[in-house]
A and B are shown apart, each in its own frame.
Chain A
Amino acid sequence: MSAWGLGRRTAVRAEPVERAPAVAVSQVSKVYPGGVRALDNVSLTVWPGTFVAVMGPSGSGKSTMMHCAAGLDSPTSGSVRIDGREIAGLDETCRTELRRDRVGFVFQAYNLIPSLTLEDNITLPLRLAGRSPDRQWMHALVERVGISGCLGRRPAELSGGQQQRAAVVRALVAKPAVVFADEPTGALDLHSAHQILQLLRGLVEEFHQTVVMVTHDPAAAAWAHHAVVMADGKVIDALEAPTAARLADRLIALGGR
């Protein structure tokens, strides 16, 4: 029902005209001081309700791409639109406010605030925005991810899997246009990782959420609808309904270059 586009390629699926892409990155380059070109004229469109994996070896620019696409960092050139709003040229405060409203994050290191209980952590973005949480939505999410029993606890008292599930709820509680997940399973054991990926895929399917996941793990990327492979700051390949085996082959081929 929705589609994704990549670079010059045409959209693969019929796109609903009334909806804007959740994220539209077009011809973005990022050059760090010292001349390192982390991104080289990258374009990527993510349509609502899709689960996209961005893959690539270390140093391929996938993290930089995510930071630019999510408004954490500003690109050197090119345009980034989140839910239809251009973020290039916005200052840090405006970008933060936009992120707070329209973007959710899940990190490898969870990044829950240790001094806050899970519930306080989950509602923190809304509190910062001065909004009150949609209790029904929050409880639905909490039930769905299975952490309703530990809302009053501090992060240090929970397992990594539980913390990451809380981070997923925090990312979704403000009903964002897109959730970015940066190696969300990198710090988890196989079982927990499986749960998180299943959860992300489930949230996309059931709640019509949009997720962009950066990972170097082909098994994780195989959960996505689509996968983009990056190398040397460029998007070099796109696969639909990828399998772990195909992705692994692709990456090994890259490593052998």
Chain B
Amino acid sequence: MLHLALRMAAHRFTALLAVACAVLGGAALLTGTGVLAESGLRSQLPPGRLGGADVVVAADQEFHPSGDLPVALPERATVPADLVGRLTRVKGVTAAVGDIGFPAALIDARGRVLPAEDPRTLGHGWSSTTLLPQPRIEGHPPSARDEVAVPASAGVRMGDRIRVVAGTGEPSSYRVSAVVDAPEAGVYFADGTARRLSGREGTAGGGRGGPREGTVDLIGLRVAPGAGEPVAAAVRDQVAGTGLKVLTGADRGTAVGPGVSAARSLLILLAGSLAGILLMIVGFVTAGALGVSIAGQRRDLALMRAVGATPKQIRRLAACQATVVAVVSAVPGIGLGYLLAGKFAQALVDRAVLPRGLPLTFGPLPALVTLVLMLAVVQVSARGAAWRTSTLPATEAVAESRSEPRAPSRARTLTGLLLIAAATASAVTPLLVRTALGATSTSIAGIMAAIGLALSGPALVKGAGGAVLRRMRPGALAPSWLAVVGMRAYALRFAGVISPPAMGVVFVLTYTFTQTTVLAATQQDIRVGTLAQHTLSAPQLGGLPPDTASAVRRLPGVEAAEPVTTTTAVWQYKEFGETTTESASAMILSPGGAGVYDLDVRDGDLARLKGATVAVSSEAAGSRDAGLGRRVELILGDGARVTARVVAVYARGLGFGPLVLSQDLAAGHTTVPAPQSILVRTDGSAAAEERLAALAGEHPGVVLSDTDPGPGTGQDTPPEVWINLAVIVVLLAYLLLSIANKLVASTVQRRTEIAALRLVGMTPGQVRAMMRREAVAIAATACGAGLVLSVVPLALLGQGFLGHPWPSGPVWLLPVTVLVVTVTAFLTIELPTRKALRTPPAEALRTL
């Protein structure tokens, strides 16, 4: 069987080339996505500044819902400080260090902040240097309150004085007591100073330490040579039941920075959102290419039936051949996929979507999964494509293979029309659910409708062709007349040719416009909902000084100034009787939040955001049984379980997310206690703005910006949109392969017809004219059908998200798509036609 399959394959090299390309591209895309997914699950940061610790004890930075993937928690969860003392006594431990990280920033002589990878946790106690991997330390440990050790990269020398913003306070002058040369070295203070600065200990003056008093971020242990494993086991016994994790080796990387590790989950999210559409399109393209290839061999297969092959053997032959091609082309495709994933991850890092230094995991799993998936697709498509020929009586199969026009079956037409109707009905979702998730139903509806078109297409084409033919003037030119007659008679073939480009048009239009419409609606929500004109932030300091808000409020002309921080919260709720876990970004707002944001509160009042309270979006309130006065159970960013009362329900959930936490609820559950930003609403006068600018200017690292960056800056384009647009381009290129293949194959198949027409007196010019008219008809029908199928879902999307029945997005997309489809159709028909015309007609007929 294999031998036969290969022999036949050699004869149909060009048709199989398209299958090979489809499989290669599909394998590359699937493997790439697989690598992203695996990295999201398993990739680990290098241990970095913990490289010198043999064992690390840290809190679990993941929430583990039952029966679901773990959810990353980005805020540092703490470890009780008294554990340090207990672990010191474990046999084999030579040093136990309670590591604490807090915001710190060095300011150079010109008042500029020295850049650092993560200023939010740059500050540490001196004892943490014990955990550095082979540091070169010059100087003596900081002991006085105004002494500090700085990384060598700061470029200052021992004994110099340097201004430091520590723990988001005011900058003050420190003497450099030591220079630490190690990768990822931070700024080190005397241990007592560090504890106070990070709010882990009360001040000498009797000040309270804050909600994280008596904790450390993690505990690093150094052990006697060779004692790593026994110590780790002993420590595990010690911490059993506390939920703390004991990490050794490469696992230590997860403890370095929970915020950074949490970025991994973006990779899973990304892979998850890609997987569905990718599988659909890879299946469509591969099945299409195989269908073309097997249609080309139908006569051979039919003749084999005639000489005694059983239907099963025919299908096995087709599947065998396809499998060989698939395996051969999947191997380089998988290799390409690994490269692609690397490039893609790099692009994400460049756009600051992914943290630098997060390595990809290149395991064998994505390759295996890809291979299995591609083989499954190929087997099913090949057997499906050979089904009809294999089950016909042998003699009929030979007759059928002469590609007489066939009538499209009624069941097929009906299924297709039902699918289109169902797709259109499902497109109303954005009217009901105004979330990014609800918007995805638009593109799904579009693609479903395109598949419906592929099924019902033949009947529709036949009807349309008949209508055109009846209207046609009797004096119409022969090529036009022939093109229309052929279109009607070969409705099946013609529809098969139209559906891939129509699907391409639908895909590009719905997918892109869904992205841009949701983006526009989100930005509109934010624009309308943001009353404040200005934002103060301090990304280089790790947070704003705590008294900034009150200082701003005292400025004349300032009407409101409220701290705003974004964190992550995990919300578990019942949906259809099942517990759903959703991790979402949540805004932390003070009771005065209404002064800077208008969230369009429908119920309750933001002023009641005190104590354990939250505000929720109306979508969340409705679907998660979280109306006013209800209690919701949440897991905060550091893994703490809390119960909070809903005090307000707001409508602008698209722009501001499903959840707003009160400051009191979130206090102590964020890595940095200081606010990330302060939103300022002024009376709009230039004087107020000047005073605000002056205030920001007095504080190094504090940045004043406008809340509305103005249209066209693209500053707020979220990475998902950018990623999705990149995906569209890649998938469109892949779809074009399928379109081109189908058109070339269908033109090549018509050599007999072209030869027969030439024998009865059609000149080459007339043949070309006829084929060109067909190309125009194909392009026009495909674009028209694609447009019609996209219009309803997009209108509903626009109505739901923007309040007008059209989407938002680049207008040029439509003409460009039409142009690409037309040029593709034209080229892929013109070139094979010219080739067919080079063979004398009598010879063309004889060789068939």
Contacts and interface: CB of A to CB of B under 8 A. Distances in A.
Interface of A: 63, 67, 72-73, 92-93, 96-97, 99-100, 105, 107, 109, 111-116, 120, 124-125, 127-130, 154, 156, 170
B765 interface: yes
B486 interface: yes
Nearest to A122: B760
A108 to B, nearest CB: 10
26 contacts: A67-B840, A72-B759, A72-B840, A73-B842, A73-B843, A93-B764, A96-B763, A97-B761, A100-B761, A100-B763, A105-B759, A105-B760, A107-B845, A111-B756, A111-B759, A111-B845, A113-B757, A114-B405, A114-B753, A115-B485, A115-B486, A124-B760, A124-B761, A125-B760, A128-B761, A129-B761
**Ordered nearest first, which 8 A-B pairs have the shortest CB separation?**
A115-B489, A100-B761, A125-B761, A96-B763, A111-B756, A93-B763, A72-B842, A127-B478
B759 A107 contact: yes
Contact of B766 (A72, A109, A114, A128): A128
Interface of B: 404-405, 478, 481, 485-486, 488-490, 753, 756-766, 837, 840-843, 845
B494 to A, nearest CB: 11
Contacts of A128: 478, 760-763, 766
Nearest to A92: B764
Given A67-B840, A127-B478, A128-B478, A111 B760 contact: yes
Contact of A115 (B490, B758, B761): B490
Contacts of A93: 763-765
B580 to A, nearest CB: 55
A170 B756 CA distance: 13
Contacts of A112: 756
B157 to A, nearest CB: 85
Contacts of A99: 761
A109 B489 contact: no
Contacts of B481: 127
A111 B762 CA distance: 13
Residue with the greatest number of chain B CB neighbours at <10 A, chosen from A93, A109, A115: A115
A36 to B, nearest CB: 13
Residue with the greatest number of chain B CB neighbours at <10 A, chosen from A100, A111, A112: A111
Residue with the greatest number of chain A CB neighbours at <10 A, chosen from B404, B489, B760, B845: B760
A119 B762 CA distance: 17
A129 B479 CA distance: 11
Nearest to A70: B842
A154 B843 CA distance: 25
A99 B761 CA distance: 6
B267 to A, nearest CB: 53
A93 B762 CA distance: 9
A111 B845 CA distance: 9
Residue with the greatest number of chain A CB neighbours at <10 A, chosen from B753, B761, B845: B761
Given A93-B765, A115-B488, 9 more contacts: A67-B840, A93-B763, A109-B845, A114-B404, A116-B485, A120-B485, A124-B761, A125-B760, A128-B760
Nearest to B753: A113
A69 B835 CA distance: 25
Nearest to A99: B761
A90 to B, nearest CB: 12
A72 B405 CA distance: 28
A4 to B, nearest CB: 24
Nearest to B403: A114
Nearest to B756: A111
A63 B840 CA distance: 14
A73 B840 contact: yes
A124 B760 CA distance: 8
Contacts of B753: 113-114
Contacts of B762: 96, 128
Contact of B841 (A72, A120, A125): A72
Nearest to B406: A156
Contacts of B843: 73
A99 B764 CA distance: 13
A113 B761 contact: no
B764 A96 contact: yes
Contacts of A127: 478, 481
A130 B478 contact: yes
A111 B753 CA distance: 8
Contact of B489 (A73, A114, A129): A114
A130 B764 CA distance: 15
Contacts of B837: 92
Contact of B758 (A96, A107, A170): A96
Contacts of B758: 96
Contacts of B489: 114-116, 154
A100 B481 CA distance: 18
A47 B662 CA distance: 107
Nearest to B490: A115
Contacts of A72: 759, 840-842
A156 B489 CA distance: 12
A125 B481 CA distance: 13
A105 B761 CA distance: 10
B495 to A, nearest CB: 15
Contacts of A105: 759-760
Nearest to B838: A92
Contacts of B756: 111-113
A114 B485 CA distance: 10
A156 B404 CA distance: 7
Contact of A156 (B405, B757, B763): B405
Nearest to A112: B756
Contacts of A113: 753, 756-757, 760
A97 B404 CA distance: 28
Contacts of B486: 115
A112 B402 CA distance: 13
Nearest to A110: B756
A140 to B, nearest CB: 20
A93 B766 CA distance: 9
Contacts of B404: 114, 156
A170 B481 CA distance: 18
B462 to A, nearest CB: 11
A92 B842 CA distance: 13
Nearest to B846: A63
Nearest to B766: A128
Residue with the greatest number of chain A CB neighbours at <10 A, chosen from B405, B757, B758, B763: B763
A105 B481 CA distance: 22
Contacts of B759: 72, 105, 107, 111
A101 B641 CA distance: 91
A180 to B, nearest CB: 10
Given A109-B845, A111-B845, A92 B763 contact: yes
Nearest to B837: A92
Nearest to B399: A156
